[in-house]
Amino acid sequence: MGDYVIRPFRDEEAVTVAAWAYGPPYEIYDGDPGHAEDYLAIDHDGYGYYAIATSANDEVVGFCCFGAEARVHGQEAQDGTVDIGGGIRPDLVSQGLASQVLPLLLDFARHRFAPQRFRTAIACFNGRSTRLCLTSGFRVVRRFDGPGREFHELERPA
């Protein structure tokens, strides 16, 4: 876990990450270049977007988000639960990076927010992210209609 850090985005990084695009069928996870400012907004409780960067050269390799930014339409906030989300830079997907940074993300959220549980939503077609979460202690608790697709909602104790 010491190879990566979670930190706020810098302006130029937010612009770059907002333009990330993934190949089909993962285009549902594409950024929106017109909303780079979303990656810079962290509220007074610490919820919002953060960069995941290498410790060695501070290169952004992914992002994570917490709170409302991590929820999918069809999910509501729950007391004691921290919603988490994230993404890996498109050219680094499927290289094992997510399995390296997920423990760091959970540890960051555990210390920052002191939740009772973590929750995430993953499009049902996205087997690779679902497998990652299942091997990290999450379990599917429901299936729901999200934006244009069905999603799995997964939870795990903090």
What are the residue boundaries of the structural domains of the chain, listed by start?
4-157
* The two three-digit tokens of residue 95, written as one number: 């290289």
Query: Please, what is the average pLDDT of the chain?
Result: 94
User: pLDDT-derived band of residue 1, with 50, 70 and 90 as boundaries?
Assistant: very low
130-156 pLDDT, tens digit each: 999 999 999 999 999 988 899 999 999
Q: Which amino acid makes up residue 144?
A: F
97-47-126 Cα angle (round to 5): 40
Biggest alpha carbon distance in the chain? 41
User: pLDDT-derived band of residue 115, with 50, 70 and 90 as boundaries?
Assistant: very high
pLDDT at residue 31 is higher than 50: yes
CA distance 6 to 55: 9
Number of helical (H) and strand (E) elements in the chain, helices listed first: 3, 7
Q: Which fold has domain 4-157?
A: Aminopeptidase (3.40.630)
pLDDT at residue 71 is higher than 80: yes
Report whether 80 contacts 115 (CB < 8 A): yes
User: Residue ranges of the alpha helices (H) in the chain?
Assistant: 11-18, 97-113, 127-135
